[in-house]
Amino acid sequence: MKHLLIIYLLVISLSACSGDDSTPDDEKTITEVALGKLIFDDHHLSANDYQACSTCHNAAAGYTDPHASVASPVSEGTLIDHFGERNTPTSAYSQFTPTFSLIDDPVRGQVYSGGLFLDGRQDSLEDQAKGPLLSPNEMASVSKLAVVDAVRVGRYANRFMSIYGREIFNNRENAFDKIIQALAAFERSNEMSPFNSKFDCFINDATQYPLSVQEQAGLDVFDGKGKCSSCHTLQPHLRFRRRRSMRPVQQRIRRTMLGLRLAVAHGQRGSS
């Protein structure tokens, strides 16, 4: 229990050490990133106008599902009694997930690593973004055309056309691709990957941002007696995580540690 407490104190060190440097949404100079955020938050892209990407990837919960629990570890879809097959991974820092491949791991030898979704089945943010929109267990839109129509009549349609052209909705297949492009742009933005936790600052400049005695003790356990770093290596800040599907995903440190912090805060959730 003592070691768990020390590690918990290390996790607390992930509190922000600087403000959000993301660019605000300027009405006159709407960017693709800002447009992507509007799409990310749009409930009207789901079958019954109930669910957005941000419903299960909530910024306040580290871009995970704030409603997940021990009793219900997987996310509920927009349709009643429809649930995802796995619990929702954080979308934060997802741009740094490497492509799915067989690598030489110094601890385990040859292992599979990388890929998006918990089973690593997609390699690009664009391909990943298409899945939840059309999945019957998630946002359940009936087709690409339905997604495009929702954007075409939505509150940010003019902004969409200002970026991609006034005729963009004449080709719905192309319009759908641009919706996905904007979503991916937002997921690659500084807002989704701020690198501003205390641990980020400590890694960049340990002198200016030292850990407390308790936080350092937690890091020592993490990297020593606890052997956490044998799977969650601190250098080069990438995570190796073996999934139940036996297809690992390599993640950056803040994603994993953020997940631990959220688990402590909200109660332990189902295994990813």
236-269 pLDDT, tens digit each: 443 433 333 333 333 334 444 444 444 444 433 3
Predicted local confidence at residue 154, as pLDDT: 96
Q: Reduce the DSSP state of residue 235 to 3 states and report it.
A: coil
Predicted local confidence at residue 266, as pLDDT: 40
Predicted local confidence at residue 66, as pLDDT: 93
Please give the CATH topology (third level) of the domain spanning 22-193+231-266: Cytochrome Bc1 Complex; Chain D, domain 2 (1.10.760)
Q: Which residues contact 29 (CB under 8 A, 6 or more apart)?
A: none
**Closest CA relative to residue 90, chosen from 58, 133, 138:** 58
How high does pLDDT run on average in the chain? 79
Q: What residue spans define the domains of the chain?
A: 22-193+231-266
- Rounded Cα–Cα distance for residues 159 and 176 (Å): 15
More confident residue, 166 or 97: 166
Residue 202 Cα distances to 98, 126, 182, 199, angstroms = 24, 32, 33, 5
